[in-house]
Structure 1
């Protein structure tokens, strides 16, 4: 019998399999597609000789530690996303685009030599090929008491596998649509599965490669462009050259929603290439174009995802954080991660979380004994650690704001861009802060509670003193110099009433965080451990 069955051959499943293999745990990995990588998809472009990403493309070393460490560990070669130069902003299909300064538009993002598929290949290289099974579509899962039974649909018919533990490294919404669970999952888990959007599911991306060097750089352009008029085909465009830039390449995200893309399916590639050429010159007409519409992928997109839109979701629902079926059933995929959810970073963090459960000797949560001294001294140390953690989240909060803002712009959003992006970034920080409170071994025995409020609560709240205002100041400064926001006066230079409305929303999120933090601190009622 297998120790662990992993369903899903994307980054999360591969990273977990690599961790298990290193510890000698018997496992098998099952993937529905005929390739590994999931939403990571890198294509060869013969015209340019480049490998171009049609799925995840970037990672941010300053804020995404898990993927940065893994890239170094695997010996992969990162390089900076090209940003120097001016960006183009097209607001009218009949007029030439405006040229504006836009330094550091991608916020220090990096890419990988050979594309993101280089990460997939490096992870798979550490695995026994006989443990990898492609073309296996999971249809049913059953709790058998001491084990879990899986039923797969394959090209050779139905097969059943039994394992002691099961990891579902698949976006939760796909599992809710496609897999029958016996017994049925708790209502709160099923609801979380339905309510968790699959990242990228409704997106489409085009890349074009050239035989010639990137001509836009010769004219001082970065390759970044935003198209915000109603006839836009591609909403956001970026330089997709490799580190050497001997051949030119551009990438772009479609502004058209899934239904519109379906209506123009036969001419979609022509429309995309035409927009590249309109922005950066007729030489783009000679390029070789690749297009990937993730909304047409059954193993990525559900009907609910096709209808979805908006800002970056707040991933990492608590329903996915703990195993079910007496420790036999785990939920993975990037969407289950609190930190980096939706990105490759989140997939790696989800794999690490599951590995900590299956391989508890690797990284165990901090315990009371890890913080020496009396209960008061231990609580003081926990508060110190919490304050240090909050201080470390200032840069990631701003990076999260920019990522959410860019996502909203590339998806054609027009209203309350700053307000929604900042609120989403802060809500994610508050969710992570609650997780930190769970992990730190506060000892509430002997701590006073007055009118339902723990004496520890204001000390936890104090860690955020100045945090929101500093983030707001950084956002306003950034917005004033943003090329992408120059056509949105309310966002470019937010008025006082708009700033006040934004702060009211964040204030409501802060109150919710404070109440939940207070509840969790009081719940840490334990018998004091002698020093």
Structure 2
């Protein structure tokens, strides 16, 4: 039986597969398409230029996971050509206006050879026997000790059993295509339904040319078209690093239904707009076009028909919860706690699931102190167990927050809803932690005490930092998606000042917990000191 079945061969699924391969776990990747990459897609021009029809850029200063992975894989990158000049076509029958200003792309970088180099590099060291293309997930069943996944292939239906499954797909696609048995809870289903798939209903064109005529004229290749008849709304330079192989890329302004209606004439319309902006030398370029709204493994029915809402870079925390007692994990960029929807978010989700899998079996059931049967010995092992226990409280703390928030709404409280619920939830974690710490087996004989502070305190405090931050982040993200809080603007989208107030409350509770934990450790040390010689703790 597989340990981990990864459904989805996009960046999240491939990054997770590589991590599991390095750890030595058994896994397999199942992808519905007959290629890997998901929304990462690069075409090749006749001249051999890589043309990104999906994600194009990354930003080293704000996307550390992606920048780090690119460096680790030894991939070459270069700065997006952007000198700050931009053409703005406001009226269909008038020439474009040239504007100068700061670079539009703000430090964006591109991969040499296209973004698919990232997927190729990730898959390079994976056994080919672990990659299964053309496998569309139809059903997933919780069998109590494992899960059963039913895939449709061109030839037959295939059943796979695994200890756990990771669904590294946009949540809305799961609603469209996958049956869950038993059904997921209402809160999770609603979070999946509300998770807009980033760029799913968009279309992109990249046009290759014999040379970068716009650069010869002192233009950057940047352009915006904002009149009502706009075909391509945003255009950018898509040349290679040296500019020897030339191309322009652009995002379609037409919505999906208009793109379908004008399907036959769309290439001519796109060509005409490029000529209008940059001159007759661009007539008849080599077009590569991708309409993601027509991709059934990218765009859900809701993405196609629902207007785009305000994009939040922190996904609903309900999407980050392990389901079916840890046997089911939702992945993909749309579940990320940071940079949701982006490539960075895909890696954020992969890291989260990797940590969750690594924690499995690390901690005994909640509330039970380590015993000899757990194979733990020494302070280092006990502290590692304690850290695993603390990390496992993230979901419990968020559940507590939701319950406190619901009770406040039910009793028609109107003030400080988020503040009080977050504080109550984190105080509950601290109270439980003191009980677990009291029961923890620690050898205090060699533990130093300096200025009234136990030397163990840094290790006791360390695992709480992530829990405190994740609780606040999850609370804010949950509030933004909560219909119940839509009538409470101050809670629905907490201001920076309000968040700072909550942080001060958490800091005060943290200080109180730290003092109590230190007193407990000092008491343990004092008890050992008072024991008769030869008696161990």
Aligned counterparts of 2:313 and 2:425: Cα–Cα separation in 1: 19
Deviation at residue 256 of structure 1 after TM alignment:
0.8
Match for residue 239 of structure 1 among 231, 237, 240: 237
Residue pair 2:238, 2:248 contacting (<8 A) in 1 also: yes
Deviation at residue 512 of structure 1 after TM alignment:
6.5
Deviation at residue 311 of structure 1 after TM alignment:
3.9
Aligned counterparts of 1:107 and 1:90: Cα–Cα separation in 2: 22
Aligned counterparts of 1:523 and 1:262: Cα–Cα separation in 2: 57
Asked which structure has the greater RCO (Cα within 8 Å, sep 6+), the reply is: 1
Residue pair 1:166, 1:329 contacting (<8 A) in 2 also: yes
SS of residue in 2 equivalent to 1:220 = coil
Aligned counterparts of 1:299 and 1:90: Cα–Cα separation in 2: 34
Aligned counterparts of 2:111 and 2:165: Cα–Cα separation in 1: 31
When normalised by structure 2's length, the TM-score is 0.71
Structure 1 position 32 matched with structure 2 position 32: yes
Structure 1: state its 5+ residue gaps: 371-430, 447-459, 462-502
For 2:10, the equivalent position in structure 1 comes to 10
For 1:222, the equivalent position in structure 2 comes to 220
5 Å matches for 1:95-494?
Answer: 95-212=94-211, 214-307=212-305, 308-360=307-359, 443=430
Aligned counterparts of 1:239 and 1:132: Cα–Cα separation in 2: 35
Render the CA deviation track for 1:452-484: whole Å, top value 9, x for unaligned: xxxxxxxx99xxxxxxxxxxxxxxxxxxxxxxx
Structure 1 position 70 matched with structure 2 position 76: no
For 2:49, the equivalent position in structure 1 comes to 50
Residue pair 1:316, 1:338 contacting (<8 A) in 2 also: yes
Deviation at residue 314 of structure 1 after TM alignment:
4.2
Structure-2 change in CA distance of 1:438 and 1:153 (3 Å): farther
Render the CA deviation track for 1:321-379: whole Å, top value 9, x for unaligned: 22111111101000000211111110011101100111239x99xxxx99xxxxxxxxx
Structure-2 change in CA distance of 1:228 and 1:133 (3 Å): same
Aligned counterparts of 2:508 and 2:185: Cα–Cα separation in 1: 26
Structure-2 change in CA distance of 1:210 and 1:301 (3 Å): same
SS of residue in 2 equivalent to 1:265 = coil
Aligned counterparts of 1:326 and 1:337: Cα–Cα separation in 2: 20
Render the CA deviation track for 1:465-514: whole Å, top value 9, x for unaligned: xxxxxxxxxxxxxxxxxxxxxxxxxxxxxxxxxxxxxx999985447646
SS of residue in 2 equivalent to 1:231 = coil
When Rg is computed on C-alpha atoms for both structures, the one with the higher figure is: 2
Aligned counterparts of 1:505 and 1:87: Cα–Cα separation in 2: 40
Structure-2 change in CA distance of 1:510 and 1:522 (3 Å): same
For 2:83, the equivalent position in structure 1 comes to 84
Structure-2 change in CA distance of 1:289 and 1:259 (3 Å): same
For 1:390, the equivalent position in structure 2 comes to none
Residue pair 1:445, 1:526 contacting (<8 A) in 2 also: no
SS of residue in 2 equivalent to 1:245 = coil
SS of residue in 1 equivalent to 2:222 = strand
SS of residue in 2 equivalent to 1:223 = coil
Residue pair 1:85, 1:221 contacting (<8 A) in 2 also: no
For 1:465, the equivalent position in structure 2 comes to none
For 1:392, the equivalent position in structure 2 comes to none
Residue pair 2:41, 2:116 contacting (<8 A) in 1 also: yes
Aligned counterparts of 1:123 and 1:504: Cα–Cα separation in 2: 43
More displaced 10-residue stretch of structure 1: 301-310 or 19-28: 301-310
Structure-2 change in CA distance of 1:72 and 1:523 (3 Å): same
SS of residue in 2 equivalent to 1:209 = strand
Deviation at residue 274 of structure 1 after TM alignment:
1.4
Aligned counterparts of 1:155 and 1:507: Cα–Cα separation in 2: 47
Deviation at residue 284 of structure 1 after TM alignment:
1.5
Which runs of 4 or more aligned residues in structure 1 lie more than 6 Å from their structure 2 counterparts after TM superposition? Answer: 437-442, 503-507, 518-527
Residue pair 1:239, 1:251 contacting (<8 A) in 2 also: yes
Residue pair 1:50, 1:242 contacting (<8 A) in 2 also: yes
When normalised by structure 1's length, the TM-score is 0.71
Residue pair 2:137, 2:152 contacting (<8 A) in 1 also: yes
Residue pair 2:84, 2:104 contacting (<8 A) in 1 also: no
